[in-house]
Amino acid sequence: MQANNCKCTLFMLNTFLLIGGLALILIGANALTDGAAAVAKRFKISDLVIGLTIVAFGTSAPELVISSMAALGGSADMAIGNVVGSNIFNVLMIIGVTAMVMPIKVGNGTLSKEIPLVILASFALAFCANDILLDGDNANIISRIDGLILLCFFLIFMRYTFAIARNGGDEGEGEKIKEMPIWKSALFIVGGLAGLVFGGQFFVDGASGIASALGVSESIIGLTIVACGTSLPELATSVTAALKKNSGIAIGNVIGSNLFNIFFVLGCSATISPLPMGGINNVDMLVLIGSAILFWLVGWFFKKRTITRVEGALLVVCYIAYTAFLISQQ
């Protein structure tokens, strides 16, 4: 009886660490973004450039912090599972739920350029994660060289993003930046960094503890609980954008997040410490690639250039089926 009470208390503590850590990460990312953006604004850097760099980094900070902390702590399964799971969740659940709330119109450029980039990124990750199949090695590891290759892809993506923005013309349409005194900016930056560091550590510790208590692998926790938690801001952003009939933001939010996750988050994490694939296997890679291709198909076919409510429901069902498959493998 006492042992059961002890386990229950430990589980509740880990859950508190998980939720509290995520809250700290989200608050910290927001504070760091606002503080850094205000400093950049003071130095006459345009709103558009700030939006494409500092704000974009801020939205990917939860995944970056958690994957980096997990990599440093030897929890490679969680680091990779967080990125793979987040990308699957972004496409199947976020696009699915958003389309069920309000059908999403997809632009020609998005279908011909941006979504194919997401598919390419998924194939690139699968290529880096298949050492046994491709090179005959003893284990699948995302090495430091793989990490640097992913970061090179990230730089190319950023160059492409800036080119698109510049060709788009009006810089006044960029992210509107709040101005603040320099002392307040510094406070936001320092406080935001502290929130990211401590929140990331609490979150990883809590997730690892829950995995241990439930008797499931860290890869499953990374692919599900951690991935869903870090993707909640993107879900809120896309649904809100769809309700305001701004389909560009709803779609762009997911595309940008998925590319940042693979190229930047995993690139940084693998450069810090090589990441053994562990419990993340080719089934997960196939679901990652398949979800990206399905994203393209539902936009291109059926009701052309619109993701309908029925198609959104199909994406959600696919995510539920994948989650059920993961649970059945335990």
Residues pairing with 142 in the sheet? 275
DSSP codes of every residue in 114-125 = IHHHHHHHHHHH
Host domain of residue 308: 2-328
| Alpha helices in 43-75, H assignment, sequence order | 47-50, 56-72
Q: At CB < 8 A and 24+ separation, what contacts does 168-173 make?
A: 171/46, 171/47, 171/48, 172/47, 173/48
DSSP helix/strand/coil, 141: strand
Q: What is the DSSP string of 160-173?
A: HHHHHHHHH--GGG
- Can you name the residues that pair with 275 across neighbouring β-strands? 142
Q: How many domains does the chain have?
A: 1
- Looking at residue 105, its pLDDT comes to 85
pLDDT at 284: 92
How remote is the C-alpha of 123 from its chain's centroid? 17
Q: Coil, strand, or helix at residue 277?
A: coil
pLDDT digits (tens, 9 = 90+) for 237-279: 778 777 777 777 778 778 888 998 999 999 998 998 888 887 8
pTM of the model: 0.81
Read off the CATH number of the domain in which 38 is found. 1.20.1420.30
Residues in the chain with pLDDT values less than 70: 1-5, 45-56, 59, 165-178, 302-303, 330
Nearest to 319 by CA among 110, 101, 126, 86: 86
